[in-house]
Each structure stands twice: as structure tokens, then as C-alpha cells.
Amino acid sequence: MTDLMAGARTSPSVAAIQKRLDADLDRFYRELRERLRSDVFLIDQGARYLLRSRGKGVRPFLVLACARLFGEPTPLTYRAAMVVELFHTATLVHDDVVDASQERRGLPTFNRIWGGKYAVLFGDYLLAHSLVATLESRRLEIVDLLATAARRIITGQLKEWVRVRERDVGRESYFSMIGDKTAALSAPARI
């Protein structure tokens, strides 16, 4: 039984679980930094900004915490965490362009710093890395999960765009949109 499972019997706090996962998260961010490294100055500059301004890291945390419930994280675990984080971040960068957002998490967006064209291309760069990491798993069901989530997220974004233009954002429409956009990468899946 792993430490995380043993601690689950005494209902550890999120802080206690976080402490157990610190080494896993450190490794995750080292591998993410390596994956994003390029020989293009502007790409490296964007990657450094992304890594400095990263969010709460909820998705990699959840992937690694779930893995800890069943033992040690494997290279596939880290790759899965990377796929989800890169893909999600790409959608946020693109969303900031669509919404003309100037700030995210209290910091200037890529859109604000480098302009919409760079932001879209950098979002595409993140998406491409997510796809490559998915293909490296050599597991078609993981590719299928990502493709299904991508379709759902893009559909949610398009629904939002149409409904906002038509000023048709009722409660049901709103929950449908955020369910497609926000929840698509956290939805239960069978592998």
C-alpha cells in the first residue's frame, strides 16, 4: 500500500497530499521545461513566461495523485500529465485571443504581450507538443481520449461564441458551454 493510500484512511489535508507529491510535480515541471525547449528565441521566451506564470497545476496534480493511489508514477503517468497540461494551456492561450483578454491569473496574457498572431501560434505550438506526447504513448485509446476532449472543448468554445453574439446565455446554455470547455479534460475516461 502506498503512503498516499495509507494517508487516505486518516483523511489527509490537501497540503499533506501536496507535500507527498512535491517531488512528482518537480519532476513533471522539469520534463515540461525540457519538452518546451527549442532553438528559437521567441519560442523559448514564451515557454519561460508560461512556466513562470503557470497556474495552480490542478491537472498534473490530479494525474499524479491518482497514479500515487495505485503505486509509483510511471513515465506514461508523467506523459499523461504533460498531455493534459499542454493541451489545456493551449486552449487557454487561444481563448484569451478569442476573448481579447488582457490578463489571466493576474498576469498579462500572451495576447497582450506579443499580440494575437503570436499567441495563436504559441497556442498551436503547445497543442502540437501535446499531440506528439500523446502519440509517444503508442496507445490509440489515449489518442482517442484527447481527440474527443478536443472536439468537445472546441464545440463548447463555438457554442459560447454563438450564444454571446445572440445574447442567448441562459443558465442551461451556460452550464452546457462550461461543461464542454472546462470539464472536458477532467471528465471520467476509460483506458
Tell me the per-residue pLDDT of 107-129, one tens digit each, with 9 for 90 and over.
Answer: 999 999 999 999 999 999 999 99
Contacts of 91 (CB under 8 A, 6+ apart): 123, 153, 157, 181
Query: Could you tell me the pLDDT band of residue 102, with boundaries at 50, 70 and 90?
Result: very high
CATH architecture of the domain with range 3-138: Orthogonal Bundle (1.10)
Confidence label for 1 from pLDDT (cuts 50, 70 and 90): very low
Q: Rounded to an integer, what distance in angstroms lies between the CA atom of residue 12 and that of residue 37?
A: 36
| Cβ partners under 8 Å of residue 186, min gap 6 | 59, 62
Sequence ranges of the domains in the chain: 3-138
What distance separates the 2 farthest-apart alpha carbons in the chain? 54
Average pLDDT, the chain: 83
Enter the pTM of the model: 0.78
Model confidence pLDDT, tens digit, residues 77-93? 999 999 999 999 999 99
pLDDT at 7: 47
